[in-house]
């Protein structure tokens, strides 16, 4: 193995999914650098970063749920309509029936759960393909949104707007920064260091190879630098602005779902179902329950995203959530998930979502029209996935892979199976 | 047909190997014009491979030896080439499109054309002629999925006639057919013989072969053992069986002194219906038991219903359960789901590890713990250290060859993959392991090791059921063997009486033979 691949392995942990993410992170960095230069430094200003988070957090929240749906081997086309429907129901309830806003949020989540149960029922228990169920849902809930709202906009009360347009409050001494954001950044740094230490501990217990200390130092330094930079940017914006509340909701969701998909039995089961449903079933996985759960979870997250969007725009309207599903699905695939299911990570999808968000943002900053934005996003999606497919066929893993030698431990779904496995296929053919 | 009929086909010392296995070692086959030629042999004897060589699936150059067809050396580089020469093979799995009509299927890829579009009128007319030839009376517009398997087979044969067939090859043509349809098919073959069409038939049903074949060639372990002239040699079923199994059992099994306890697992009157067909039963009142420390074998031909029996027991994973009860340690247990089955200490290692045994995206360690994640989790959160340790233990204990337990299972050889699957089910700590074709497609060394693992498991007091199509394996390994034929258990043979001829007879019996 070449030294570069060794380095990759050390810096990125060396597991298969991380190896694929390396390519995605490079793409993200490239996009940031490109736009930073192109916009004369506008991209990484406090104001813009805060705007990006509050404007696009909904794509990222959807991408988290969509990742699980796609890993389980399904798809959800209805998320935009579900978001819009939830938005109008919640807005109406608060506006016309003067429901207090915290109960409004609860109502929204319940609506999401009910819709999710409806769609999950058809997918898991009746066996209608998710594509069809959610295509129907897409029309159904879009229509329902317009039916309830009379195709009109409904404003939402002040308190509710916090979850979409709110920021961390200013507390404590005047440091010139938003203190709570600074604290959050500090906590993040500590968290990163603690996680690294914990991972090393685990590897030691497994008697696995330990990366050299300098590698860990470099990796930690890079991560801490990124966090410190981001913290200062988010904390140093216009007075009254800081890390948006929606950003905090997003971070919590990403951490929770990342943990769930990677470390729990339920998470394993989702991957098992997507990788080989029959094998999973014969291993005691309750197929129907898993399928039901991922579909339901997706609709709940869609409801949440819808509410955040409504809160940000201060009103619910008939055009909310149009083509959100496409952004979310694109984010997941750019983030390295497999169309056939069984592969993909939450963090990869977030990177993919950031690629989409920064593309949107950067092109808008440059005054590129929405026509060109669509074209460019379409091409990026196609090229990102095509590149991955091509690399898989070549037995390489990702962008960097084409520049260096083939990376040995790439994706296990590799089409180029090793000779041992290939000969086995032939052997089974001989039998009988 | 007379003895002076010229040879239509001669295959001379055909040798074909795959990496690690020699499938055919100098096989010769002589087929005379206008005869019905049967090819017999155990599973894995090389019958299918030989036919694939003949039909060009394994193209010229990938094997050694000569094919002489109609007096000329033939070099088929694909199915199209052999079909042009009039050789048509009809596989066990029919190659028909269920949603298309009989006519459309008959001319699929071969559509009669008129000025650029399909000439349906003449297709219809041709279709009726072809159907007449095979005795199929149906509306040619009927969809394939709406006619029975027997008639589908006839469509497949009619399709061969559409291609102007000279040599018709049928691979297990009656395996999926009922008695009446089988009879019709055999009559049809006799009719073809009258008209001078030559047929090669691969079949496990020896009574049918005896009834219809003119010549029988027997293959064993990739070699052609003998060619029998049915009339002249006075061939009967016993004679064929002797040719098929006549080999010495060498010591390919580790030594073991059985220590057998009492019956702890019992199945009574287990009856299961085929998932797609109301009339077909895949298990017909099966009753059997397993003792502690005992290796019980299930012998039967392909499609006899052994896998179906095992899977329907394992949480009703196959077919529709109709009746039957299961007892463990004297108490009746209910196995409605796979989770129930695992909970009651059952484990099923499937026949097809790639398509239903493993998630090929997983690495070695995730595969090993997949069937009982709760054992490595605390409050539903998986402990990676414990997972790793367990995987390392199994890797060492079963001598699994892999660079690390983080390696993708897809990169392992067949034998090592099989060991990973075994580890996966040993990890669930079962009382009864059902192993379906545990050594299929793996080399001799790995086989020996897997036999050793099985013997260690029974030494711990577990019961093991082995389903295998290799009789020597069952005879060498098992304490007791049940024979299965068409969904019914036809006999029970103790280790001392187990002998290939006895088993083969019960496996092919059309009548239930008395249980000893």
Q: Residue A400: inside a domain, yes or no? A: no
Pair (A84, A176) in one structural domain: no
In which residue are the tokens 């990403």 written?
Answer: A254
Contact yes or no for B19 and A278 at CB 8 A: no
Contact yes or no for B20 and A427 at CB 8 A: yes
In CATH terms, B7-245 corresponds, of 3.40.640.10, 2.60.40.1930, 3.20.10.10, 3.40.50.300, to: 3.40.50.300
Pair (A148, A295) in one structural domain: yes
SS3 B143: strand
Contact yes or no for B366 and A268 at CB 8 A: yes
Q: Residue A418: inside a domain, yes or no? A: no
Q: How far apart are CA B30 and CA B14, in angstroms?
A: 12
Q: Residue A41: inside a domain, yes or no? A: no
Structure tokens at A146: 């317009």
For residue A393, the model assigns a pLDDT of 66
Residue A390: count of CB within 10 angstroms of its CB:
12
Question: Per residue in B278-337, pLDDT tens?
Answer: 778 889 999 999 999 999 999 987 778 899 999 999 998 888 899 999 999 999 999 999
Length of chain A as a residue count: 432
In which residue are the tokens 């179902």 written?
Answer: A273
Contact yes or no for B338 and A428 at CB 8 A: no
Residue A367: count of CB within 10 angstroms of its CB:
6
Strand B480-485 relative to strand B488-494, pairing: antiparallel
Q: What is the per-residue DSSP string for B269-313?
A: EEEEE-SS-SS-EEEEEEEEEEETT-EEEEEE-TTSSHHHHHHHH
The shortest CB-CB distance from A282 to any of B317, B407, B413 is to: B317
The model carries a pTM of 0.77
CB-based contact B169:B9 (threshold 8 Å): no
Q: How far apart are CA B245 and CA B471, in angstroms?
A: 8
Q: Residue A393: inside a domain, yes or no? A: no
Counting residues of chain B whose pLDDT is more than 90, the rounded percentage is: 39
For residue A19, the model assigns a pLDDT of 53
Bin B305: left if φ > 0, else alpha if -120 < ψ < 50, else beta: left
Find the CATH number of the domain harbouring A265.
1.10.3470
Mutation pick from B345, B349, B359 vs chain A, by most beta carbons of A within 10 Å, is: B359
Interchain CB contact of A1 with B (< 8 Å): no
| Side-chain half-sphere CA neighbours of A400 within 13 A | 20
Contact yes or no for B356 and A278 at CB 8 A: yes
Which stretches of B344-413 are DSSP H helices? 364-369, 384-397
Pair (A315, A224) in one structural domain: no
Contact yes or no for B370 and A283 at CB 8 A: yes
Long-range own/partner contacts, residues A117-122 (CB < 8 A, 24 or more apart): A117/A292, A117/A296, A119/A76, A119/A78, A119/A295, A119/A296, A119/A299, A120/A291, A120/A292, A120/A293, A120/A294, A120/A295, A120/A296, A121/A292
CB-based contact B65:B26 (threshold 8 Å): yes
Q: What is the CA radius of gyration of chain A?
A: 23
Per the model's pLDDT, the better-predicted residue between B206 and B405 turns out to be: B405
Q: How far apart are CA B95 and CA B22, in angstroms?
A: 28
CB-based contact B447:B262 (threshold 8 Å): no
What are the domain boundaries of chain B? 7-245, 251-345+430-516, 358-428
Residue B508 has φ and ψ, to the nearest 5°, of -110, 5
Mutation pick from B361, B374, B385, B412 vs chain A, by most beta carbons of A within 10 Å, is: B361
CB-based contact B76:B85 (threshold 8 Å): yes
Interchain CB contact of B49 with A (< 8 Å): yes
Spans of chain A below 50 pLDDT = 1-2, 13-17, 395-432
Please report the residues numbered 159 through 198 in chain B whose beta carbons come closer than 8 angstroms to any beta carbon of chain A. Answer: none
Contact yes or no for A429 and B47 at CB 8 A: no
Pair (A57, A158) in one structural domain: yes
pLDDT exceeds 90 at position B340: yes
| Side-chain half-sphere CA neighbours of A331 within 13 A | 35
Bin B468: left if φ > 0, else alpha if -120 < ψ < 50, else beta: beta
Exposure string for A146-177, b = 16+ CB within 10 A, e = fewer: bebbeeebbbbbeebbebbbbbbeeeeeeeeb
Q: Residue A331: inside a domain, yes or no? A: yes
Question: Residue A428: closest CA among chain B residues belongs to which residue?
Answer: B441
Please report the residues numbered 391 through 420 in chain B whose beta carbons come closer than 8 angstroms to any beta carbon of chain A. Answer: 406-414, 417
SS3 B315: coil
- CA A116 to chain B, closest CA, distance in angstroms equals 24
CB-based contact B339:A289 (threshold 8 Å): no
pLDDT exceeds 60 at position B468: yes
The mean of the pLDDT values for chain B is 86
SS3 B41: coil
**Contacts A–B by Cβ distance under 8 A:** 154
Q: Residue A343: inside a domain, yes or no? A: yes
Pair (A135, A274) in one structural domain: yes
Strand B263-273 relative to strand B223-229, pairing: unpaired
Structure tokens at B230: 């049915």
Contact yes or no for A284 and B413 at CB 8 A: no
Q: How far apart are CA B38 and CA B463, in angstroms?
A: 40
Pair (A113, A162) in one structural domain: yes
- CA A129 to chain B, closest CA, distance in angstroms equals 20
Please report the residues numbered 312 through 331 in chain B whose beta carbons come closer than 8 angstroms to any beta carbon of chain A. Answer: 314-315, 317
pLDDT exceeds 90 at position B18: no
Pair (A185, A105) in one structural domain: no
Burial of residue A277, with CB atoms counted within 10 A of its CB: 0-12 exposed, 13-18 middle, 19 or more buried: buried
pLDDT exceeds 80 at position B87: yes
- Longest distance between any two alpha carbons in chain B, whole Å: 80
Question: Per residue in B257-277, pLDDT tens?
Answer: 888 999 999 999 999 998 877
CB-based contact A85:A144 (threshold 8 Å): yes
The DSSP output letter for B351 is S
Q: Whole domain around residue A371: which residue ranges?
A: 46-166+246-378
Burial of residue A95, with CB atoms counted within 10 A of its CB: 0-12 exposed, 13-18 middle, 19 or more buried: middle
Burial of residue B337, with CB atoms counted within 10 A of its CB: 0-12 exposed, 13-18 middle, 19 or more buried: middle
Among positive and negative, which fits the CA dihedral B155, B156, B159, B164?
Answer: negative
Question: Residue B362: closest CA among chain A residues belongs to which residue?
Answer: A412
Residue B311 has φ and ψ, to the nearest 5°, of -70, -35
Pair (A235, A254) in one structural domain: no
CB-based contact A291:A273 (threshold 8 Å): yes
Closest CA to B213 of B93, B232, B67, B8: B232
Per the model's pLDDT, the better-predicted residue between B344 and B43 turns out to be: B344
For residue A304, the model assigns a pLDDT of 97
Counting residues of chain B whose pLDDT is more than 70, the rounded percentage is: 94
CATH no. for B251-345+430-516: 3.40.50.300
Residue A340: count of CB within 10 angstroms of its CB:
12
Q: Residue A34: inside a domain, yes or no? A: no
Interchain CB contact of B361 with A (< 8 Å): yes
In which residue are the tokens 């599973």 written?
Answer: B43
The shortest CB-CB distance from B370 to any of A266, A272, A432 is to: A272
Q: How far apart are CA A42 and CA A366, in angstroms?
A: 10
Q: Residue A10: inside a domain, yes or no? A: no
Structure tokens at B158: 């009619």
Q: Write the secondary structure of B210-270 as one string of H (helix), E (strand) and C (coil).
A: HHHCCEEEEEECCEEEEEEEHHHHCCCHHHHHHHHHCCCCCCCCCCCCCCCCCEEEEEEEE
- CA B50 to chain A, closest CA, distance in angstroms equals 9
pLDDT exceeds 90 at position B432: yes
Note whether B7-245 and B251-345+430-516 share their fold. yes
Contact yes or no for B356 and A431 at CB 8 A: no
CB-based contact B222:B15 (threshold 8 Å): no
CB-based contact A15:A199 (threshold 8 Å): no
Instruction: Give kind and range of the element (H or E) at residue A113.
Output: helix A101-120
Residues of A in contact with B362 (CB under 8 A): 271-272, 275, 412
Exposure string for A36-46, b = 16+ CB within 10 A, e = fewer: eeebeeebebb
Please report the residues numbered 12 through 41 in chain A whose beta carbons come closer than 8 angstroms to any beta carbon of chain B. Answer: 15-16
Residue A129: count of CB within 10 angstroms of its CB:
12
For residue A25, the model assigns a pLDDT of 80
Residue A401 has φ and ψ, to the nearest 5°, of -55, -35
Residues of B in contact with A336 (CB under 8 A): none
Contact yes or no for A412 and B362 at CB 8 A: yes
Pair (A179, A63) in one structural domain: no
Pair (A276, A182) in one structural domain: no
Pair (A52, A99) in one structural domain: yes
Number of domains in chain A: 2
SS3 A50: helix
Pair (A363, A258) in one structural domain: yes
Which stretches of B63-141 are DSSP H helices? 79-84, 102-106, 120-133
Closest CA to B208 of B185, B242, B192: B185
pLDDT exceeds 50 at position B453: yes
Structure tokens at A13: 């942990």
Q: What is the per-residue DSSP string for B400-421?
A: ---S-TTSBGGGS-HHHHHHHH
| Side-chain half-sphere CA neighbours of B506 within 13 A | 25
SS3 A301: helix
């Amino acid at each position: 193995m070449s030294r570069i691949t060794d380095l990759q392995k050390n810096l990125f942990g060396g597991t298969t999914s991380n190896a694929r993410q390396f390519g995605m992170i490079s793409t993200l960095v490239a996009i940031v650098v490109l736009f930073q230069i192109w916009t004369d430094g506008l991209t990484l200003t406090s104001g813009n970063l805060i705007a990006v988070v509050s404007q696009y957090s909904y794509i990222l929240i959807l991408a988290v749920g969509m990742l699980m749906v796609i890993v389980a081997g399904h798809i959800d086309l209805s998320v935009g309509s579900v978001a819009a429907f939830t938005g109008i129901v919640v807005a109406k309830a608060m506006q016309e029936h003067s429901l207090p806003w915290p109960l409004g949020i609860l109502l929204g989540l319940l609506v999401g759960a009910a819709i999710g149960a409806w769609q999950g029922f058809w997918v898991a228990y009746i066996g209608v393909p998710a594509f069809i169920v959610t295509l129907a849902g897409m029309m159904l809930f879009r229509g329902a949104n317009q039916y309830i709202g009379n195709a009109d906009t409904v404003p939402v009360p002040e308190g509710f707007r916090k979850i979409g347009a709110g920021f961390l409050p200013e507390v404590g001494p005047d440091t010139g920064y938003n203190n709570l954001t600074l604290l959050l950044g500090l906590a993040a740094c500590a968290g990163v260091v603690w996680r690294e230490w914990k991972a090393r501990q685990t590897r030691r217990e497994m008697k696995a190879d330990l990366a050299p200390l300098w590698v860990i130092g470099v990796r930690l330094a890079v991560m801490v630098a990124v966090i410190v930079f981001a913290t200062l940017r988010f904390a140093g914006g216009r007075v009254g602005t800081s890390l948006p509340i929606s950003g905090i909701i997003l971070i919590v969701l990403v951490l929770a779902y990342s943990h769930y998909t990677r470390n729990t039995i339920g998470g394993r089961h989702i991957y098992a179902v997507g990788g080989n449903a029959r094998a999973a079933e014969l291993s005691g996985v309750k197929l129907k329950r898993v399928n039901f759960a991922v579909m339901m979870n997706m609709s709940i997250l869609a409801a949440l995203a819808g509410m955040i969007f409504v809160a940000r725009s201060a009103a619910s309207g008939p055009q909310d959530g149009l083509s959100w599903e496409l952004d979310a699905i694109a984010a997941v695939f750019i983030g390295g998930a497999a169309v056939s299911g069984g592969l993909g990570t939450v963090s990869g999808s977030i990177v993919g979502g950031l690629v989409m968000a920064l593309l949107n943002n950067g092109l808008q900053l440059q005054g590129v029209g929405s026509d060109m934005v669509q074209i460019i996003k379409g091409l990026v999606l196609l090229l990102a996935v095509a590149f991955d497919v091509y690399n898989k066929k070549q037995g390489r893993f990702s962008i960097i892979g084409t520049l260096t030698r083939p990376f040995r431990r790439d994706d296990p779904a590799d089409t180029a199976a090793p000779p041992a496995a290939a000969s086995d296929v032939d052997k089974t053919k001989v039998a009988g | 047909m007379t003895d002076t009929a010229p040879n239509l086909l001669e295959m001379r010392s055909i040798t074909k190997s795959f990496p690690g296995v020699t499938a055919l070692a100098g096989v010769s086959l002589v087929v005379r014009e206008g005869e019905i030629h049967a090819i017999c042999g155990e599973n894995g004897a090389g019958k299918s491979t030989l036919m694939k060589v003949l039909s060009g699936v394994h193209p010229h150059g990938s094997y050694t030896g000569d094919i002489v067809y109609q007096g000329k050396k033939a070099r088929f580089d694909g199915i199209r080439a052999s079909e042009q020469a009039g050789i048509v093979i009809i596989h066990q799995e029919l190659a028909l499109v269920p949603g298309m009509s009989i006519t459309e299927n008959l001319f699929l890829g071969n559509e009669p054309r008129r000025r650029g579009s399909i000439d349906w009128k003449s297709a219809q007319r041709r279709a009726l002629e072809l159907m007449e030839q095979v005795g199929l009376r149906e509306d040619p517009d009927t969809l394939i999925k709406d006619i029975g398997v027997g008639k589908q087979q006839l469509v497949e044969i009619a399709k061969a006639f559409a291609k102007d067939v000279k040599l018709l090859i049928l691979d297990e043509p009656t395996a999926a057919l009922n008695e009446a349809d089988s009879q019709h098919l055999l009559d049809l073959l006799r009719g073809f013989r009258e008209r001078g069409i030559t047929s090669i038939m691969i079949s496990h049903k020896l009574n049918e072969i005896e009834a219809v074949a003119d010549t029988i060639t027997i293959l064993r372990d990739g070699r052609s053992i003998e060619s029998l002239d049915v009339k002249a040699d006075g061939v009967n079923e016993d004679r064929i069986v002797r040719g098929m199994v006549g080999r010495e059992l060498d010591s390919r099994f580790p030594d073991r002194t059985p220590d057998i306890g009492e019956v702890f697992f019992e199945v009574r009157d287990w009856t299961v219906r085929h998932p797609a067909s109301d009339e077909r039963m895949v298990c017909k009142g099966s009753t059997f038991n397993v003792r502690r420390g005992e290796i019980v074998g299930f012998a039967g031909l392909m499609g006899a219903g052994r896998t179906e029996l095992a899977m329907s027991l394992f949480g009703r994973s196959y077919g529709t359960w109709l009746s039957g009860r299961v007892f463990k340690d004297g108490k009746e247990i209910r196995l409605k789901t796979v989770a129930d089955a695992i909970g009651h200490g059952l484990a099923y290692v499937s026949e097809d590890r790639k398509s239903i045994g493993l998630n090929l995206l997983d690495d070695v360690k995730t595969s090993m713990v997949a069937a009982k994640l709760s054992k490595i989790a605390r409050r539903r959160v998986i402990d990676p250290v414990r997972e790793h340790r367990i995987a390392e233990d199994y890797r060492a204990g079963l001598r699994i060859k892999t660079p690390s337990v983080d390696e993708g299972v897809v990169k392992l050889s067949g034998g090592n993959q099989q060991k990973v699957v075994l580890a996966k089910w040993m990890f669930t700590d079962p009382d009864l392991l059902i192993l379906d074709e545990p050594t299929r497609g793996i080399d001799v060394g790995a086989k020996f090791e897997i036999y050793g693992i099985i013997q260690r498991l029974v030494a711990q007091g577990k019961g093991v059921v082995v389903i295998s199509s290799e009789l020597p394996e069952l005879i060498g390994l098992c304490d007791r063997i049940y024979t299965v034929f068409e969904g019914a258990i036809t006999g029970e043979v103790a280790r001392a009486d187990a002998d290939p001829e006895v088993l083969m007879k019960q496996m092919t019996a059309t009548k239930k033979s008395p249980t000893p």
